[in-house]
Homo-oligomer: A and B are copies of this chain.
Amino acid sequence: MNYNELTKQIKLDSYMMSSLPIQIRNAALSNIIEALLAKKDDIFLANKEDLESAESNNEPAPILNRLIFDSHKLKGVIDGISSLISLKDPLFNLQLVRELDQGLILKKETCPIGVIGVIFESRPDALVQISTLCIKSGNCSILKGGKEAAKTNKILFDVIYAAGIDAGLPKGFMTLIENRADINELIKCHDSIDLLIPRGSNSFVQYIMSNSKIPVMGHADGVCHIYVDQSADLDKALPVIMDSKAQYVTACNTLETLLVHKDIAAELLPALQNSSYAGNVELRGCPKTLKTIDCIPATEEDFKTEYLDFILSIKIVENLDEAINHINKYGSHHTDCIVTEITGDATKFMALVDSANVYQNCSTRFADGYRYGFGAEVGISTGKLHARGPVGLDGLVTYKYKLFGNGHIVADYVEGRKNFNFVDK
């Protein structure tokens, strides 16, 4: 395939896409819900074939789990699309209206980015989430999914594509790339693709960043921390630590390093080791930790590592400042949490830790578009760049998410004991 020509055509269609009224974009989303329901048996059949191939290839259990697209997953993506439909139009919002002089009026208005290439992992539901987010926001998407999900992705693409065209979206609104080798062609098309969102391993994301002139949004690493302050309430700390580490061990927002104030280590660490999860999680401690509990020694390398596994590195620190410095030095600017009952310590931690998500007293696993009430997400960005046009003060400012909790954990939500109830203040 000639990707240069293909993406040029998509780019042209993106201008039309950018000017479509919200009625057409929402109608496309409604069409997609209907089409997914109408074709569900074919989708499940394709998914069964993918699952059988994966099983016969002896793919590991986590891959098989992510690969499943059953009625439960279908309900999930349809709920997601329904909530997307109900969300306010992100386009054509005036962020500034300013008269510069009599009759000279400046308006700052939101518009789509244009053409977005997303390379994602083996979850077929990601294809539905990403493509519908792009439709709602008026962007054209070029999608490459995991090869294990090839048949499921193909039928999901075909169903969504037909439903979108039927609603009046331009031909180039969505494109599926089926061959992994084509990624190397795609990332050369910097004249036509505005943004790449690679999701996957650190090395894959680094490869994309190093080999393309296209801006990349996302994250390579998720080395997330919890710091347990001397004032921490252990009844909050232990469940938050365990949820952050073990609730879904391969996610980017899981805990990798636990930092513990020296005055609470003797109480916290044995309790952690003896907690119900302890059998599953291998603890690797700094020299001071080894004097407190019996565990494997941690090396310098451990504190830089995103395990994505049932392993937790532990470091005892002198104070809040050492914890903050450790996180800023070893972390990946993704999600970091302080467990404390002292408001001033939380305020300082959340101001000085240079991460996209900074938390007090709640699980790092909350770092997720759905859990923030965004409907879904295309990825999590640890970058900061964001400005366009003349860059004044506003363009020098980025943001961080501050989440104040009271011992909240994600397991309660995933396992149905609590429900999200989004209310904007």
Contact = CB atoms under 8 A, between A and B. Distances in A.
A389 B51 CA distance: 32
B393 A87 contact: yes
A386 interface: yes
Interface in A354-376: 354, 356-357, 362, 366-369, 371-376
A391 interface: yes
A130 to B, nearest CB: 10
A209 B362 CA distance: 39
Identical chains bound together, number = 2
Given A388-B400, A389-B380, A399-B111, A394 B215 contact: no
Contacts of A425: 97-99, 105
Interface in A399-425: 399-406, 408, 413, 418-425
B402 A375 contact: no
Contact of A389 (B12, B95, B113, B401): B401
A230 interface: no
Contacts of A356: 388-389
A325 B15 CA distance: 10
A387 B388 contact: no
Contact of A103 (B87, B405, B424): B405
Interface stretch (A134-142, A262-270, A298-306): A134-142
A87 B87 CA distance: 32
Contacts of A90: 393-394, 396-397
A61 to B, nearest CB: 27
A348 B16 CA distance: 10
B398 A372 contact: no
Contact of A110 (B111, B381, B398, B406): B398
Contacts of A116: 396
A377 interface: yes
A390 interface: yes
Contacts of A1: none
A104 to B, nearest CB: 5
Listed residue (A11, A114, A383) with the most chain B CB atoms within 10 angstroms of its CB: A383
Contacts of A405: 103-104
Given A217-B387, A354-B15, A383-B388, A111 B400 contact: yes
A215 B209 CA distance: 11
Given A98-B422, A380-B391, A388-B356, A397 B15 contact: no
Contacts of A19: 348, 351-352
A103 B404 CA distance: 8
A112 B397 CA distance: 5
Contacts of A404: 104-105, 107
Given A215-B384, A382-B388, A393 B408 contact: no
Contacts of A385: 113, 195, 215, 217, 383, 385-386
Interface of A: 11-12, 14-16, 18-19, 84, 87, 90-91, 95-114, 116, 133-134, 136-137, 139, 194-195, 197, 209-210, 213, 215, 217, 324-325, 328, 348, 351-352, 354, 356-357, 362, 366-369, 371-406, 408, 413, 418-425
30 contacts: A15-B328, A18-B354, A19-B352, A87-B393, A97-B424, A98-B372, A98-B423, A99-B422, A99-B425, A100-B371, A100-B421, A101-B420, A104-B362, A104-B404, A106-B373, A111-B398, A113-B385, A113-B398, A133-B392, A137-B397, A215-B215, A215-B383, A215-B385, A374-B393, A374-B394, A375-B392, A378-B392, A381-B391, A384-B388, A389-B401
